Amino acid sequence: MTLQEAVGQLCQLTIQRLIISDPRQKSTDGFRKAEVRPVLVQKQPRWQIVRYTEKQSFQQNIETGQLQQALIDELSDHFSQLDGFCTQGSVLIRVSKKGKILYRFKKADSGGDLVPCPACDIENQNRQKNYLLSAEDAPRPLIDLGVVTRDGKVVQSRYDKFRQINRFVEIIDEGIEPSIRHLNIIDFGCGKSYLTFVLYDYLTRVRKIEVDAVGLDLKADVIAHCNEIAGRYGYDHLHFEVGDIHGYQPQFDVDMVISLHACDTATDYALYNAISWGTKRIYSVPCCQHEINLESGKDMALSLSQYGLIKERFCALLTDSIRADLLRSEGYKVDVLEFIPLEHTPKNLMIRAIRQPSQLESAKEANRKLYKESKKQWLPIIYRGRPFTICCRPKKGTVTKPEGTWTGSRTRPGYKLP
């Protein structure tokens, strides 16, 4: 079988999603995978190709008739494997180093979970659920992102994204009192700022709150693009800056800090800054918690180190638990929520912390004791005397010199817990 024949058979099926992987050239600047799915662009069916590097993604929409040639080009020049998910079943196309083509088709099993259900009545589900952001009155960013059409309907293939965005806005909306008329917001590690744009639009247009918001990220090209979009939308009090979370100094009193999927100890820097500034509302969705996972040795107790997946998840949960305890010890009411369903991403926990100025000092002291007991119980078991470097409780009134001893780690400099 030739590559053209294999791709031709695939294109005769009803494709829901394609994943193209295993790059031929292992380059740090090259694409590591690509995803293909059907979308609607101005009510016209298109294929959307998203190519991923280590740090960025690049999106391209093509005509329906161009898909076959586009897949042939990808498998001829860039990648060696294609996994396809269709209503009829799943497809595997593999190109060997010698150019031999492997094509496998597995018919969909009504009891299996390989293929998403294509018969979901998205519009009916949307009518039954009263979303905070309605499709009929959707903010412009949702339309430009291809989540909602201009005539007020959720694009079927983007319904999960529509639900995730609504969940994010709902969680934040719950923590804003009706009397609030102005908010200063910082989004650490904002990336392309999809959620930032939607949240700004909701707070200013629906809640009628005056918002001054800053998005911070390390990628200059992404920041330039976000500022251009904010100007196009007329979001005069939303701007973006190139900068590192660690050591950032705001120009205003911060009412809310958002940190979504800030990698590794970047989440700890965001929490540290927020506590130091006395920020009232903190919303953090941690990402790859490598610090404990990397520093813990093979002799870690309870046989956790024998199973990589169990060790990774345990260390991530332990890290987030210590972060939550830390926030409680600083006078915050803390909830750990399921941000989005687990089937979409394993990084689905949100730490929501609301500062309680009236909390009694005795309650704070009790929480500080709990925080110290948690560290005393778990960290010595894991580290066996080695240094550890996750977020520490900051000294009052300082940002750059926290309590504890400066130490290095395998990932980046950090702070040794006091």
Element (H, E) at 355: strand 349-355
Asked if residue 66 and residue 210 are part of one domain, the reply reads no
The per-residue pLDDT for range 275-328, each reduced to its tens digit, is 989 999 999 888 765 555 555 555 555 556 667 777 777 777 888 888 888 888
**Coil/strand/helix, residue 285:** strand
With helix as H, strand as E and coil as C, how does 81-93 read? EEEEEECCEEEEE
Say yes or no: 149 and 260 in one domain. Answer: yes
pTM of the model: 0.59
Same domain, 84 and 155: no
Higher-pLDDT residue of 342 and 135 is 135
Task: Say yes or no: 391 and 275 in one domain.
Answer: yes
Domain's final residue, options 107, 137, 153:
107
Tell me which residue has tokens 């169990």: 310
357 has pLDDT over 90: no
Hey, which bits of 136-191 come out as E strands? 182-188
Q: Is the pLDDT of residue 333 over 60?
A: yes
pLDDT digit string, tens, across residues 176-234: 888 899 999 999 888 878 888 999 999 999 899 999 999 998 889 989 988 998 898 89
Same domain, residue pair 60 and 152? no
**Any bridge partners for residue 212, and if so which?**
184
Residue 118 within a domain:
no
Asked if 220 contacts 155 with a C-beta cutoff of 8 angstroms, the reply is no
Question: Do 230 and 310 fall into the same domain?
Answer: yes
Domain presence at residue 393: yes
d(CA 396, CA 414): 19
In tens, the pLDDT along 384-402 reads: 444 444 444 444 444 443 3
b/e code 261-298 from CB counts within 10 Å (16+ = b):
bbebbbbbbbbbbbbbbebbbbbbbbbbbbbbbebbee
User: For strand 182-188 and strand 210-217, is the pairing parallel, antiparallel, or unpaired?
Assistant: parallel
Q: How far is CA 136 from CA 40, 130, 148, in A?
A: 17, 12, 9
Claim to verify: residue 342 and residue 209 sit in the same structural domain: yes
Q: What pLDDT does 377 receive?
A: 59
Residue 399, domain CATH = 3.40.50.150
Domain boundaries, position 21: 3-107
Q: Name the nearest CA neighbour of 258 among 250, 267, 246.
A: 267
- Mean pLDDT (the chain) is 77
Domain total for the chain? 2
Long-range contacts at 105-114 (CB < 8 A, ≥ 24 apart): 105/9, 114/85, 114/89, 114/90
Judged by average pLDDT, the poorest of 115-129, 158-172, 292-306 is 115-129
> Is position 119 within any domain?
no
**Residue 120: inside a domain, yes or no?**
no
Q: What is the DSSP letter of 148?
A: B
C-alpha to C-alpha distances, 302 to 298, 299, 307, 318, 378, nearest whole angstrom? 11, 9, 11, 14, 11
